[in-house]
Amino acid sequence: MARGLTRPLGQLVRWARRLGEGDLSLPVPASGRDEIGFLGRTLEQMRRTLEARDREQRAMVAGVAHEIRNPLGGIRLYAELLESDAELGPAAREKLRKILRELEHLGSIVDEFLLFARPAAPSPQPVDAGVLATELLEWLQPQAERAQVRLECAVEAGGPVRVRADPTQLRQILHNLVVNAIDASPAGGVVRVRLEPLTRGVRLAVEDDGPGIDAAQRERLFEPFYTTKPSGAGLGLPIVRRLALLNGAQVELERASSGGARFVLRFEEEG
């Protein structure tokens, strides 16, 4: 009798944990005609409703992004043609450069919309997360220098730190987290990427020297379109969570020793 009660309850707890992390794809595991079965059927109805709303939202976002992308490409093309005009004066050329910078910014937002709405199915493979993180930090170094922020990467292992993940999606996850950390850090601050092998899996952390994230913001941190920045679509962290789930990882927010934010990815098994 005890096993008959604890087993389905344990399954419901594990399912609820995945739901809390944002995974709406798993059906509720409970069955039967007792109270636990009724609870399971009610939760399954809730899951299906949430999943349908999520699909509708992502379809709407993808449709809007496609409608914006086409005319945006045309505007950019004509702006580039005008910029190459030899008869254009210095003042007009500078204005066109500003237009092109804004178009590039809008293009990156549209790309975020599409990535959030329709992330590609992952192609997991063994990836050396240390090498990937080092290469990404080198690529982001100019952006960090403009913000007067130092980038550090520490691998707490004697050899490669391997995870099983889609390398392109893992790079996107790290890119979003590091860019957010750069934006949050003050001039002279440090953004640290740390990789640590665990007994089962790998822990990957990105932390900053910023002011941290208060309790009110934590509640909505992974909510689509929620942002505290003056610019951006508020999709960076939702994309991180969605891609992490697709690659079998968990994302958690901790407080760094410096008082800033620390985002932690946990991969359950090494590649």
What is the SS3 assignment for 211-249? CCCCHHHHHCCCCCCCCCCCCCCCCHHHHHHHHHHHCCE
Rounded Cα distance between 193 and 197, Å, is 14
Domains within the chain, CATH numbers bracketed: 1-118 (1.10.287.130), 125-267 (3.30.565.10)
pLDDT < 50 stretches in the chain: 271
Quick: pLDDT tens for 218-258.
Answer: 777 877 777 777 666 778 888 888 888 888 888 888 887 77
Rounded Cα distance between 92 and 88, Å, is 6
CB 184 within 8 A of CB 236: no
pLDDT at 32: 64
As a whole number, the mean pLDDT across the chain is: 81
pLDDT at 20: 65
Q: Which residue has the tokens 């914006």?
A: 68
Q: Which residue has the tokens 């344990």?
A: 10
Rounded Cα distance between 128 and 164, Å, is 9
Instruction: Provide the whole-model pTM.
Output: 0.69
pLDDT at 138: 93
Q: Is 26 exposed, middle or buried (0-12, 13-18, 19+ CB in 10 A)?
A: exposed
pLDDT at 271: 46
